Every structure is written in structure tokens, then in C-alpha cells.
């Protein structure tokens, strides 16, 4: 079975941790275990996708910048009868943060959110009142890596409105209260094949809100109480039960877990932060491949 391991043409900015580099060492490890798996850049026009049986999304990290092209690529893969991990409906649903509305409407607790449609030109003040905060964060509904993300302060809303209106010319945005709990860390629960694997906490550097390592964020491994693992698993059971990989990101607000993102497209999986994580990923991949070959 021929497998395409999907990447992109840009830089892979996560480094080595605990003697393993997920971006450079996972693929050769999978190859060493006998898989016929080849790295391919998703928008490389020279690739003959029809020769593959399966495509595994790993690091197509520019898909949000080429959103229409990426959707066409998904359509082409699907019409070529290439199986996709994660599955096509899951990926298409998860690429736009409007999916959070469905999750909230299903009774799950998410960070309070308001969605602004492309071309929005109203006032900011009512949004601060609606979300009961003096500080807001606004980001695109299709985005990654904190691109086009702004912090808005109630005291300077009149001056910020022009910047926000300009952003809304690009597309739909989601606006949320700037949660102070981010300073204590964003929790990521990682699952493979619907089964819990491991958890890490990402913390921003002092004075920042961005948890990514490229912005100076730090990562630590944690062993959460079972109640929180069970809570994260509820999202997986409902929305990602048959997915190869899934990451449930959120904050601890008091003793409650509140969802920030359900990452099902191309999340970094922090495989170097648990001794069994790579094997968990490999086992889930083999299980899905075996199901196809039956």
C-alpha cells in the first residue's frame, strides 16, 4: 500500500526535544518499520496522486494561506480514490473555526465566541459588553500560527476599529475574551485512533499571549487527572472517533476544562514528549491501514 506523507514547502520550525525531532525523524522511522511511505508537498504540481492509496496529513502548514487551492487539492485526491487520514469530511469541517459553533450548540463548553462576517463595519464596544471583558482577541476563522491575530483593549476600541475593519475585508473572524488563564498554559490532549496518548502544556513567554515555540513559548509534559482526560475524550468520541490523530486544546478555568480548538487537520503532535507517543501514532496508523486492506 503506497502512502503519501503530506508536508509543505516552507520551514518546519519545531526542533528536537528529548532526542527526537518529529518533523525530521518520524517519516524515516515509519519507513524503517516497513511502510511504503513517501514525503510529498501537497501543492507540488509534479506529483501523480493517483499512484497513492493513502495520504496522511502531517505538515501542510500553509493550507490556510492557500485555502481555495487546498480545497481543490482535497477534491482532486478524493476523486482519485486516495484515502485521507484524517478523513475528508472531518478535515473540511475542521478547517474553519465556525465548527466551534456546532460544538457549543451540542452542549460542550468552549471559550465564549462571537463570529464576525467578512465586510463587518460595526462598533467594537458592544462586543466587549457581550463577552464581559475589557480585552478581546480576534483571529481569522481560517488561520494558523497566530497570523492576523490582534489583542483589542476596551480603552482603545475607538482607535482600533479601523484595524479591525481592515482585517474583516479578508474574511470571517472569531472574537473571544482574552483569557487570563493562558498565562498558566494551554493544555493539549493528544489522541491516536480515538485513544488517549499524552498531554502537554504550552505556556507563552512573559508579556506575550502566543504559546507557539517560534514566539518564545515553552512546553512541559503533564499527567492530568482522569476527569480531564475523560472530558477531552468526549470531544473525540463525538467529533473524531475514527481519526488517526486529534488534539484537544483548551484552558483550565477554575476546575473546568474549556475548549479553545479541536485540531484535526495538521496539528503538531508533540511525539517527543511521551515515551510511547510514537508507538501510539504508529499503532493507530497500522490499525487504519489494516481496515482499508480488509
- End residue of a domain, out of 178, 193, 224: 178
Whether residue 79 lies inside any domain: the answer is yes
Among residues 206, 207, 209, which one has the least CA distance to residue 186? 209
The answer to whether residues 276 and 162 belong to one domain is no
Percent of the chain topping pLDDT 90: 83
Check whether residue 230 and residue 249 sit in a common domain. Answer: yes
In a domain, 294, yes or no: no
Looking only at the bridges linking them, the beta strands covering 2-7 and 54-57 are parallel
Separation of alpha carbons 171 and 125, rounded Å: 21
Confidence band of 224 (pLDDT split at 50, 70, 90): very high
Answer yes or no: do 61 and 158 share one domain. no
Do 246 and 262 contact (CB within 8 A), yes or no?
yes
pLDDT of 213 strictly over 70? no
pLDDT at 294 (0 to 100): 56
For 164-192, what is each residue's pLDDT tens digit? Answer: 999 999 999 999 999 988 888 899 999 99
Does any domain span residue 86? yes
Write down the pLDDT at residue 15.
Answer: 76
Residue 20 has φ and ψ, to the nearest 5°, of -145, 130
The H-assigned helical ranges of the chain are 22-32, 67-79, 88-94, 99-105, 125-130, 157-167, 226-239, 277-293
pLDDT in tens, 98-116: 999 999 999 999 999 999 9
| Residue that is last in its domain, among 38, 65, 94 | 94
Cβ proximity of 3 and 38 under 8 Å: yes
44 within a domain of the structure (yes/no): yes
Residue 291 lies in a domain: no
| pLDDT range class, residue 144, cuts 50, 70, 90 | confident
Instruction: Looking at the structure, tell me whether residues 223 and 79 fall in a common domain.
Output: no
Do 272 and 151 sit in the same domain of this protein? no
Q: Reply yes or no on whether the pLDDT at 148 is more than 90.
A: no
H-helix segments, 86-130: 88-94, 99-105, 125-130
Which CATH number do you get for residue 59?
A: 3.40.50.20
Residue 284: which pLDDT band, with cuts at 50, 70 and 90? Answer: very high
What is the reported pLDDT for 20?
A: 92
Helix, strand, coil content of the chain in percent (nearest 5): 35, 25, 35
Q: How far apart are the first and last CA of the chain?
A: 12
Q: Are residues 279 and 217 in the same domain?
A: yes
Q: Are residues 209 and 245 in the same domain?
A: yes
Q: How many domains does the chain have?
A: 3
CATH number at residue 246: 3.30.470.20
Owning domain of residue 88: 2-94
Query: Rounded mean pLDDT of the chain?
Result: 94
Cis-peptide into 145, omega within 30 deg: no
Residue 147 pLDDT grade (very low, low, confident, very high; cuts 50, 70, 90): confident
Amino acid at each position: 500500500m503506497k502512502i503519501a506523507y503530506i508536508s509543505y514547502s516552507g520551514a518546519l520550525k519545531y526542533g528536537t526535544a528529548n532526542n527526537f525531532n518529529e518533523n525530521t525523524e518520524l517519516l524515516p522511522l515509519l519507513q524503517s518499520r516497513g511502510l511504503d511511505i513517501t514525503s510529498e508537498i501537497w501543492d507540488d504540481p509534479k506529483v501523480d496522486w493517483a499512484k497513492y492509496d493513502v495520504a496522511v496529513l502531517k505538515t501542510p502548514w500553509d493550507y490556510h494561506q492557500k485555502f481555495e487551492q487546498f480545497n481543490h487539492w482535497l477534491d482532486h485526491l478524493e476523486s482519485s480514490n486516495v484515502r485521507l487520514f484524517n478523513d475528508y469530511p472531518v478535515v473540511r469541517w475542521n478547517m474553519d473555526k465556525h465548527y466551534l459553533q456546532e460544538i457549543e450548540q451540542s452542549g460542550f463548553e468552549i471559550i465564549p465566541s462571537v463570529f464576525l462576517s467578512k465586510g463587518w463595519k460595526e462598533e467594537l464596544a458592544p462586543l466587549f459588553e457581550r463577552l464581559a471583558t475589557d480585552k478581546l482577541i480576534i483571529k481569522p476563522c481560517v488561520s494558523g500560527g497566530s497570523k492576523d491575530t490582534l489583542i483589542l483593549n476596551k480603552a482603545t476600541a475607538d482607535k482600533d476599529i479601523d484595524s479591525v475593519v481592515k482585517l474583516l475585508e479578508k474574511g470571517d473572524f472569531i472574537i473571544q475574551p482574552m483569557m487570563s488563564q493562558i498565562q498558566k498554559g494551554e493544555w493539549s490532549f493528544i489522541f491516536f485512533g480515538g485513544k488517549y496518548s499524552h498531554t502537554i502544556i504550552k505556556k507563552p513567554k512573559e508579556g506575550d499571549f502566543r504559546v507557539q515555540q517560534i514566539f518564545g513559548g515553552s512546553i512541559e509534559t503533564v499527567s492530568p487527572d482522569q476527569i480531564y482526560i475523560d472530558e477531552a475524550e468526549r470531544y473525540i468520541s463525538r467529533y473524531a472517533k475514527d481519526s488517526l490523530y486529534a488534539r484537544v486544546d483548551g484552558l483550565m478555568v477554575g476546575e473546568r476544562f474549556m475548549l479553545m480548538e479541536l485540531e484535526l487537520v495538521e496539528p503538531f503532535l508533540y511525539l517527543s514528549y511521551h515515551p510511547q507517543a510514537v508507538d501510539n501514532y504508529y499503532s493507530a496508523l497500522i490499525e487504519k491501514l489494516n481496515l482499508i486492506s480488509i
